[in-house]
């Protein structure tokens, strides 16, 4: 008997036409290069566990297994398509996190896809398939089918020159775990091979003041909750977003208060605008408020790690009061 190998793991996904109704996954749905796909603990809550009914001794009775779900996590790189008006493949997973993607154009050099949270996509669920494959000459596989899955995304960079990594954490109803033949496992088809954006040769500004940052962590802050339903195979009809709390953490080099007075702005609750931009991406946060600050050492340089809460925009604008907008850019 051959063993299943993590290096052979495949993850495919597709937005569901009807939230909670599983889609059939094909080769075309395995079109994003993902790293570290993993299935978390299989969540099957047991009724009355441990179950102790009256027996006159310490003996236990059986528990009853309940609805079935699990978390699925993986990473992708944030990369623009070379055509810049073409939606990059990885954005389909952002749409499964309640994010809308629309074309925008400001000028000949300022155009692409604008991503922003949309209340109308709060149940824009996905079917996710995780496939395991044996090693050996005649391998067989296992298919984990997740339906009605919704997720949260965190976009981060570990340092200058590093790519933007998008970490996804989806929760979905686990419909079944089935044996499959290798031919039933989607094959990687038409993935993007554009060079990802890197965190350099760009800018970071707070209320128009340039700050020297080397890392960023932007969490779109989705809370995912289940919709239980007796008619569902897993016990969950679907999962959906019930709250959003977007935050961003950056690490400006500590400067004189006359140059950037973070302390006064922190203690006064000042609302600030943040813009972080590199060759392919531009993150705009029109209204942000510091919620925590710490003084840290970075290779002997003192930095201030600042966490901001991204607030509802004060005007509807183009993106319907969105607290943040992430734009891909024409970089060709």
What integer pLDDT is reported at residue 75 of this predicted model?
Answer: 96
Q: What would the pLDDT profile of 60-82 be if each residue is shown by its tens digit?
A: 999 999 999 999 999 999 988 77
**CB neighbours of residue 75 within 10 Å:** 16
- Residue with more model confidence, 109 or 261: 261
Tokens 């509807």, residue? Answer: 316
Indicate whether 332 pLDDT > 70: no
Q: What would the pLDDT profile of 199-252 be if each residue is shown by its tens digit?
A: 999 999 999 999 999 999 999 999 999 999 998 888 999 999 999 999 999 999
Nearest-5° Cα angle at 27, 172 to 114? 65
Could you tell me the residue ranges of all domains in the chain? Answer: 6-45+67-328
Window from 186-190, 236-240, 256-260 with minimum mean pLDDT: 256-260
% of the chain beyond a pLDDT of 90? 81
What integer pLDDT is reported at residue 193 of this predicted model?
Answer: 86
Indicate whether 107 pLDDT > 80: no
d(CA 149, CA 145): 10
What integer pLDDT is reported at residue 108 of this predicted model?
Answer: 57
**Which band of pLDDT confidence, cut at 50, 70 and 90, is reported for residue 1?**
low
Helix residue spans in 85-145 (DSSP H): 91-95
Compute φ and ψ for 265, nearest 5 degrees: -65, -35
What integer pLDDT is reported at residue 84 of this predicted model?
Answer: 67
**Which band of pLDDT confidence, cut at 50, 70 and 90, is reported for residue 105?**
confident
**Which band of pLDDT confidence, cut at 50, 70 and 90, is reported for residue 270?**
very high
Indicate whether 109 pLDDT > 70: no
Q: Please state whether 20 falls in left (phi above 0), alpha (psi between -120 and 50) or beta.
A: left
Residues 158-171, mean pLDDT to the nearest whole number: 96
Indicate whether 259 pLDDT > 70: yes
- Burial class of residue 79 in the structure, from the number of CB atoms within 10 Å of its CB (0-12 exposed, 13-18 middle, 19+ buried): buried
Indicate whether 196 pLDDT > 90: no
Which among 228, 229, 230, 225 is positioned nearest to 240, based on CA atoms?
225
Which among 280, 332, 329, 322 is positioned nearest to 112, based on CA atoms?
329
With the C-alpha atoms ordered 169, 175, 179, 180, is the resulting torsion angle positive or negative? negative
Listing DSSP states for 145-190 in one string gives: EEEEEEEEEEEEESSTTPBPEEEEEEEEEEEEEEEEEGGGSPPP-S
Contact call for residues 200 and 216 (beta carbons, < 8 A): no
Contact call for residues 310 and 247 (beta carbons, < 8 A): yes
What integer pLDDT is reported at residue 137 of this predicted model?
Answer: 81
Question: Rounded mean pLDDT of the chain?
Answer: 93
Indicate whether 34 pLDDT > 70: yes
Indicate whether 21 pLDDT > 60: yes
Element housing 266 (H / E): helix 262-268
Indicate whether 144 pLDDT > 70: yes
**CB neighbours of residue 216 within 10 Å:** 20
Instruction: Give the burial string for 281-290 (b: 16+ CB within 10 Å, else e).
Output: bbbbbbbbeb
d(CA 82, CA 84): 5
């Amino acid at each position: 008997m051959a063993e299943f190998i993590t290096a052979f793991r495949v993850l495919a996904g597709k937005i569901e036409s009807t939230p909670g109704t599983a889609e059939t996954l094909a080769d075309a749905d395995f079109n994003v290069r993902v790293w570290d796909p993993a299935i978390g603990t299989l969540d099957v809550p047991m009724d009355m566990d441990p179950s102790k009914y009256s027996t006159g001794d310490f003996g236990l009775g059986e528990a009853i297994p309940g609805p079935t779900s699990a978390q699925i996590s993986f990473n992708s790189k944030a990369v623009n398509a070379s055509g810049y008006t073409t939606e990059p493949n990885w954005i389909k997973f952002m749409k499964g996190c309640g994010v809308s993607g629309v074309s925008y154009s400001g000028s000949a050099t300022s155009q692409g896809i604008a991503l922003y949270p949309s209340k109308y996509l709060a149940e824009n669920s996905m079917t996710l398939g995780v496939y395991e494959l044996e090693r050996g000459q005649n391998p067989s596989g296992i298919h984990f089918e997740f339906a009605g899955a919704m997720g949260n995304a965190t976009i981060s960079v570990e340092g200058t020159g590093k790519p933007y990594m998008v970490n996804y954490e989806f929760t979905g109803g686990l419909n079944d775990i089935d044996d499959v033949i290798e031919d039933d496992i989607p094959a990687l088809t038409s993935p993007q091979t554009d060079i990802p954006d890197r965190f350099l040769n760009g800018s970071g500004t707070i209320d128009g003041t340039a700050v020297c940052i080397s890392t960023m962590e932007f969490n779109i802050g989705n809370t995912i909750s289940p919709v239980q339903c007796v008619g569902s195979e897993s016990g969950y009809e679907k999962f959906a977003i019930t709250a959003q709390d977007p935050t961003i953490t950056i690490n400006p080099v500590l400067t004189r208060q006359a140059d950037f007075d973070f302390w006064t702005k922190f203690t006064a609750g000042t609302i600030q605008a943040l813009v972080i931009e590199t060759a392919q991406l531009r993150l705009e946060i029109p209204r942000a408020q510091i919620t925590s600050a710490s003084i840290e050492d970075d290779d002997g340089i003192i930095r201030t790690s600042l966490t901001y809460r991204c607030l509802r925009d004060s005007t509807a604008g183009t993106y319907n009061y969105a607290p943040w907008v992430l734009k891909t850019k024409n970089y060709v």
